Amino acid sequence: MTPMTVRRAIVQSGLIPFEAQVLLAHVLRVDRAWLHAHAQDALPHDTAIAFFTLARRRRGGEPVAYLTGMREFWGLPLAVSPNVLIPRPETETLVEQALQRLPADRDLRILDLGTGSGAIALALARERPRAQIVATDVSAPALDVARANARRVAVFNVEFMLADWYDDASLSPSAAPFDAIVSNPPYIATGDAHLSEGDVRFEPMAALTSGVDGLAALRTIVAGARARLADGGWLVLEHGYDQSPAVRDLLAGAGFADIGAFRDLAGVQRVALGRRAG
């Protein structure tokens, strides 16, 4: 019988090579470079069984990130579970735009609404160590993941809070204002056909959908932001691929200045922002 080698397992997995390599590297607890260097090595039987079990689940649609329990974001290795959205590269556009407006040489207060895995809050905290960041989520299991990620990447300037958007006394308009509010909220319309496709089938629906037009959470965030921002403070939001005009209208209607729209790496308008003036 021909031995099951690293190369043969990848070929027979039925997956695209990259995904097969990620899953096999996870099972072997090595990196992908090791797989290339040991392509002809024989796989122990138990290892092969574990790998082909994961490959079968992936062919059934389960996200690779949930199968490995990890996803990198902004260079940070973050744990993920079905309790949180999988951090995606397009959200790094939000981090980039926020950082351009947050000076590194002074103390800051930042609010991250709907933090999920903590990806945005931890990326900002790593880049702005003088900032004090409050990261909220309505899901206690999601906050457990976020707190564990903060310990994993040794970031300690984030306070995680159970709250439904601004629904906490410490986030009231009379509390200390924030220099920035950031959020990647749910923004998919409830009946959107994309919800039955790809990885999102396995992600928490409450973190994906927001009303019949997908804008309900964004309306709530925009409506409450100005009263909680310091003068000159920024609101930075991720939104859906076709929502940029609507979100910019919301920002204008709420009295924000310097409203801007920014594209992600795929060229899609993905981030809108505005500044509280005066």
pLDDT at position 198 is 83
CB 112 within 8 A of CB 135: yes
The one-letter code for the residue type at 42 is A
- The rounded distance, in Å, linking the Cα atoms of 223 and 221 is 6
Per-residue pLDDT of the chain (278 residues; tens, 9 = 90+): 678 999 999 999 999 999 999 999 999 999 999 999 999 999 999 999 999 999 999 999 999 999 999 999 999 999 999 999 999 999 999 999 999 999 999 999 999 999 999 999 999 999 999 999 999 999 999 999 999 999 999 999 999 999 999 999 999 999 999 999 999 999 998 888 878 888 889 999 889 888 889 999 999 999 999 999 999 999 999 999 999 999 999 999 999 999 999 999 999 999 999 999 97
- The pLDDT, as a whole number, for residue 197 is 83
Q: What confidence score (pLDDT) does residue 275 get?
A: 98
Domain ranges for the chain: 6-60, 69-275
User: What is the predicted pLDDT for the residue at 192?
Assistant: 84
3-class state of residue 65 by DSSP: helix
Q: Closest by alpha carbon to 75, among 119, 35, 128, 105?
A: 119
Structure-token pair, residue 165: 């958007």
DSSP 102: S
Q: What is the pLDDT of residue 1?
A: 60
Cα 57 from chain centroid (whole Å):
23
pLDDT of residue 196: 81
Q: Are 94 and 49 in contact (CB under 8 A)?
A: no
Q: What pLDDT shows up at residue 3?
A: 81
Helix (H) or strand (E) holding 98: helix 92-100
Q: What is the pLDDT of residue 191?
A: 83
Coil/strand/helix, residue 67: helix
Whether domain 69-275 has CATH 2.60.15.10: no
Give the separation between CA 257 and CA 233, rounded to whole angstroms. 10
